Amino acid sequence: MNRRRVARKKRNVAIQRRRLMILAGLGVLGYAGLGARAVQLQALDAEWLAARAQVHRSTVRLEPLRGEIHDRHGTLLAGSAEVESVAASPRRISDARSTAAALARALDLPQKHLRKRLSSGRSFVWIKRWATPEEADRVRDLGLAGVSLHPERKRFYPSGLAAAYLGFAGRDGEGLSGLELAFDAALRGSSASLPLLRNAHGQRLIRWKGDTNARAGARVVLTLDARLQHYAENLLEQTMQRTRARHATLVALDPWTGDLLAVAERPTFDPNRFWLEKPSAFRARAFVDVFEPGSTLKPFGIAMALDAGVVRADDRFDCEQGAWRVGDHVIHDFKPYGALSVHDIITLSSNIGAAKVAEQLGATRLVEGLRAFGFGQSTGSGFPGESPGILRPLRESQRVERANLAFGQGIAVTALQLAAAGATLANGGQRVSPRLVLRVEGPGGTVEWPSGLGERVLSESTARSIRAMLQDAVARGTGKAAALPQYAVAGKTGTAQKIVNGSYSKDRFVASFMGLVPAQNPRLVVVVVIDEPQGAHTGGRVAAPVFRELVGFALEQLPLRPRGKT
Amino acid sequence: MLSRVGTPHLLVSATFLAGTGLVMVYSASALRAEISFGSSSVYFWRQTMGLALGLLVALLAWRVPLGAIRRMSYLGWGLALVALIATLSSLGVEANHARRWLALGSGFMFQPLEIAKLALVLALARWLSDQQIRLRDYRFAVGVPALLAGIPALVLLLQPDFGGALMLLLFAGTLCFAAGARITHLAATGLIALPALAVVALGAGYRVNRLRSFLDPWADPLGNGYQLVQSLLAFGAGGIAGTGLGAGQQKLGYLPEAHTDFILSVVGEEVGLIGVLTVLVCFAIVGVAAIGIASRARDTFAMLVATGASLLIWLQGLVNAGVAMGALPTKGTTLPLFSYGRSSLVVSLAAIGLVLNVARPKKPGRKGWR
């Protein structure tokens, strides 16, 4: 019996040994299986899985402060500031009534409106964007549950000058129109991207050092002179009241560099509150709106005829006593004249005379000449949406069109083109590209906008002789209202009938004036365009006085560079 | 194979696991601790305290004569059963819809299941060694062990803790197998038990969902499959070399239980395949070394104690790792020695102590198996 028990025990021990081996083997097998699973997950399927784990990753962009815009003397025209905005999470507010009351006191907002917003049950509402520092401090001191302050950037325009030309930047600092749009990339600078993790609680965690090399926004320095701009805008404001016109536009240009010293228009808008305005108010009219110039264009055709040698300044043309039939079309003068010299055709602004000079030049050369002055093409100012105007090629047989073109009909120009063409007469015959930006001062260096004189359009002597005619036009012709006591002024008026329903209107006009000053050593070219003035409507009565006022101020007050000869 | 592994392998691997476990617990729990307590190291220090207590208990389990342990084993089983039943009383603490915790006084909480595992191992070791010549008899070899495991398992089902109950039955079956019970008996019992377990398993909706999510976690990655999907993403994100210690992102609130049941996923993400394989190899070494020690034990009781204690480490580790990698259905279990949880850590270290106790050289003058 005992022996049997011992034998059974021994056999049992052998069984147990074997079983332990099996158990250990199973364990090792199990772990080996898991190891294989780990290889599958972490080596074979890793890419697929890791791609799905990426969803928690994001980046935050750290935007530098948007660059400032200055005038040529350093006056701030557009700046950026850090401000705070007040927001609320209505869901986290238990007592909307008392919260609304406290916020209404701190922010000077209607309590009723606030209570409605705070009771909305939404997770996020703005209470006040761009609060003042004092308001932000008051809200901070209140320490209300569910009310928070968010740092934001605000773009501000201290003077609101040249609003349509500077344009504006949106709430999030993105350029939306004008120069703010054209130079958006430079003004914005480069943002830093910081890779972020978002944990499951929605908190942002910075995971590793990213590229924090943010570059500050560049400073854009304009050619504008803030004082002249300010004066011009006030002047247009008064003109608008006096003439009850639809629009008024003014361009003042340095004929030697192309620097735009003032580009003004009325009506305008407040870029600090652009969202309240109609988008039609944002038009940079001097650059994008075209009009039929009328007589203001005459000097350019006549300049080409003089330069080509087909007429001389003292050649006389019969002005047909005010009515001349061309084909089945009759051209009229404002007043009937007999024989007039080319000089007097300009001075007295005879349409018939100008048409007869153009007849000598020929349609092709007339169009080519106007194109050489820059009409019908962009001036190269680089302004977004700048219009090239309209200048169609003519055949020699199109006699009526040729005659019309000679006194500024059948062509559409921008105020900017007219000023640039005037600058060519002023600087002795060379093309000049108007510029609105002097330089861009970025963190990596300064870029100057190219300036200076371009290709020659007409000889210096032709330019001088045209200026003499224009000087006479102001001294004793249609532009008397532009005359200044101290300086000789050269200029040309224009009174163009507007086309309404396909034919020329009898009571809607565009009055314009293009002038150079001082007449034989010009330092400033100014174009004034008044759209649909009521009452007095001629360029001489409406636009010329604006020129006189502005130039009077400019020559007395501004450090204009004495340049050029002649 | 078994004759060549023993105490040194066991000690090195177990120490490595406990040490790196502490580091990984810190990494996995820092954010959670910061959010809950305002200090990132709360769980780390708690685990360190658990480690200290566990080392004391392990020392005790190592030095106490096996005979004394044997005499106390049934009493221990009874006490563990009482503790399990107590979880159903007002002393039990409900968390996640289950009463698995027992609170004694203020602040001292433990999981009776962990103690019940050890107590069951000791009681079974005693029963199976006492009755080893009668193990040909179904009643002795399987019947009584089934009762020893089944009674606490029934209590566990009331908590409810299906996984814990299954673990106890698995332990019992394995020990019966090791003691030499007939395979046919074990297989028959298993076949009888299986339908019953299936009924219980599929009786609760959440278990069905778990099973379904295990079979295809991507079918509902934001619902039932969420935890497993997040775990798999962690493994995938880690790749071969890992994102670097502390640099994992799944633990940032995406992976639930990152510092406890799914700590291996954090290892996978931060230390990569290299880290996961290292941990798996260490567990395998602990298991094989402990079984090697068991095979050289002085008697059947000691052999069964060492085998049973080793199960607490390697079988649980196998289940935990399998769950984390989606190779086994989701079941809440700790990674012994490694994951956060003081009850588990103390009991795991006690198990290591028991294996070392068995490995102690025989006292001179005593020969052979009893």
pLDDT, average across residues A62-72: 87
User: CB within 8 A of A226, min separation 6: which ones?
Assistant: A71, A73, A75, A77, A159, A161
Mean pLDDT taken over chain A: 87
* Residue labelled with tokens 């330092």: A523
Architecture of domain A226-557: 3-Layer(aba) Sandwich (3.40)
Every domain of chain B and the residues it spans: 2-359
Q: Do A9 and B132 touch (CB under 8 A)?
A: yes
User: How confident is the model over B59-77, as pLDDT tens digits?
Assistant: 999 999 999 999 999 999 9
The closest of A226, A214, A213, A186 to A67, measured between CA atoms, is A186
Domain ranges across chain A: 84-93+123-155, 226-557
Q: Which residues of A528-537 are buried (b: 16+ CB within 10 A; e: fewer)?
A: bbbbbbeeeb
Please give the single-letter amino acid code of residue A36. A
Under an 8 A CB cutoff, do A35 and B325 touch?
no
pLDDT by residue (tens digit) across A244-284?
999 999 999 999 999 999 999 999 999 988 888 888 888 99
**Given B35, B174, B280, which is nearest A201 (Cβ)?**
B35
**Token reading at A556:** 């007395």
Element (H, E) at B87: helix B66-87
Q: What is the pLDDT of residue B1?
A: 63
Q: Do B294 and A207 touch (CB under 8 A)?
A: no
Residues in chain A with CB shorter than 8 Å from the CB of B132 are: 9, 12
Distance from CA of B216 to the nearest CA of A (A): 15
- Predicted confidence band of residue A565 (pLDDT cuts 50, 70, 90): very low
ipTM higher than the 0.90 cut? yes
Task: Estimate the crossing angle of helix B263-270 against helix B300-324, to 10 degrees.
Answer: 60
B272 to chain A, any CB pair closer than 8 A? The answer is yes
Contacts of A263 (CB under 8 A, 6+ apart): A162, A165, A224, A229, A250, A251, A252, A284, A286, A287, A416, A436
- Distance (Å, whole) CA A513 – CA A526: 8
pLDDT class of B15 with cuts at 50, 70, 90: very high
Cis peptide bond N-terminal to A522, omega within 30? no
A92 interface with B at CB cutoff 8 Å: no
In terms of Cα–Cα distance, which of A497, A494, A495, A488 is closest to A523? A488
Q: Which residue of B has its CA nearest to A203?
A: B252
Residues of A in contact with B236 (CB under 8 A): 41-42, 45-50, 52-53
Beta partners for A207? none
Comparing alpha-carbon positions, the chain B residue that sits nearest to A198 is B252
Q: Which residue of B has its CA nearest to A51?
A: B237
Q: Is A295 a catalytic residue?
A: yes
The CA distance from B187 to the nearest CA of chain A, in Å, is: 15
Closest approach of A92 to chain B, Cα-based (Å)? 20
Band (pLDDT 50/70/90 cuts) for residue A143 is confident
| pLDDT at position A198 | 63
Tell me which of A299 and A506 has the higher pLDDT: A299
Instruction: Kindly indicate the confidence band of residue B123, based on its pLDDT and cuts at 50, 70 and 90.
Output: very high
Strands ordered across the beta sheet of A192-198: A57-62, A192-198, A204-206
For A:398-437, CB contacts with B below 8 A are none
B322 chain-A contacts, CB cut-off 8 A: 30, 34, 37
The residues that bridge with A437 in the sheet, in sequence order, are: A222
Q: What is the pTM of this model?
A: 0.59
Cα–Cα dist A32/A14, whole Å: 27
Determine the 3-state secondary structure of A396 from DSSP.
coil
pLDDT surpassing 60 at residue A562? no
Mark yes or no for CB contact B273/A42 under 8 Å: yes
Read off the pLDDT band of A202 (50, 70, 90): low
Model confidence over A166-182: pLDDT tens digits? 999 887 788 888 999 99
- pLDDT tens-digit series, residues A499-514: 888 888 888 999 999 9
Identify all chain B residues contacting A23, using CB atoms and an 8 Å cutoff.
Answer: 174, 177-178, 291, 307
Are B284 and A28 a contacting pair at CB < 8 A? yes
Residue A18 has pLDDT above 50, yes or no: yes
Please answer yes or no on whether B280 and A34 come within 8 Å at the CB atom.
Answer: yes
A292-306, A343-357, A489-503, B207-221: segment of lowest average pLDDT: B207-221
Contact call for A56 and B254, based on CB within 8 A: yes
**Test the A interface: residue of B183, B226, B235 with most A CBs within 10 Å:** B235
Size of interface A-B (CB pairs under 8 A): 148
Contact at CB, B283 and A31, closer than 8 angstroms: yes
**Which residue out of A85, A295, A341, A512 is catalytically annotated?**
A295
Predicted confidence (pLDDT) at residue A566 exceeds the cutoff of 50: no
For the cut 50, the answer to whether the pLDDT of residue A394 exceeds it is yes
**Interchain proximity A199–B318, CB inside 8 Å:** no
- Indicate yes or no: CB of A197 within 8 angstroms of CB of B249: yes
**A12, A32, A46 ranked by CB distance to B180: nearest:** A12
Question: Rounded mean pLDDT of A326-354?
Answer: 91
Greatest Cα-to-Cα distance within chain B, rounded to the nearest angstrom: 65
Helices in A161-289 by DSSP H: which ranges?
163-166, 178-182, 184-188, 226-243, 285-288
**Which of A326-330, A451-455, B175-179 has the largest mean confidence?**
B175-179
**Confidence class of residue B363 from pLDDT cuts 50, 70 and 90?**
low
Residues A271 and B220: their CA atoms lie apart, in Å, by 52
Share of chain A above pLDDT 70, in %: 93
pLDDT at residue A564, as a whole number: 40
pLDDT band at A560 (very low <50, low <70, confident <90, very high): low
Contact A53 B253 (CB under 8 A): no
Q: Which residues of A touch B31 (CB under 8 A)?
A: 199
Lowest mean pLDDT segment, chosen from B46-50, B161-165, B355-359: B161-165
The answer to whether A335 and A348 are in contact (CB under 8 A) is yes
List, for residues B296-353, the tens digit of each pLDDT value.
Answer: 998 999 999 999 999 999 999 999 999 999 888 877 788 999 999 899 999 999 999 9
Selecting from B236, B318, B327 the residue whose C-beta is nearest the C-beta of A42 gives B236
Judge: A28–B287 Cβ closer than 8 Å, yes or no.
yes
C-alpha of B165 from chain center: 12
CA distance A247 to A284: 12
Quote the tokens at residue B342: 């003081």
Task: Provide the pLDDT for residue A383.
Answer: 86
Q: What is the mean pLDDT of residues A521-536?
A: 93
Residues of B in contact with A53 (CB under 8 A): 233-234, 236-237, 249-250
Closest residue in chain B to residue A21, using alpha carbons only: B2
pLDDT at B104 over 80: no
Better-scored residue on pLDDT, A263 or A208: A263
Q: In this complex, is the C-beta atom of A6 within 8 Å of any C-beta atom belonging to chain B?
A: no
Tell me the average pLDDT across A316-332: 90
CA distance A82 to B329: 55
Report yes or no: A52 at the B interface, CB cutoff 8 Å: yes
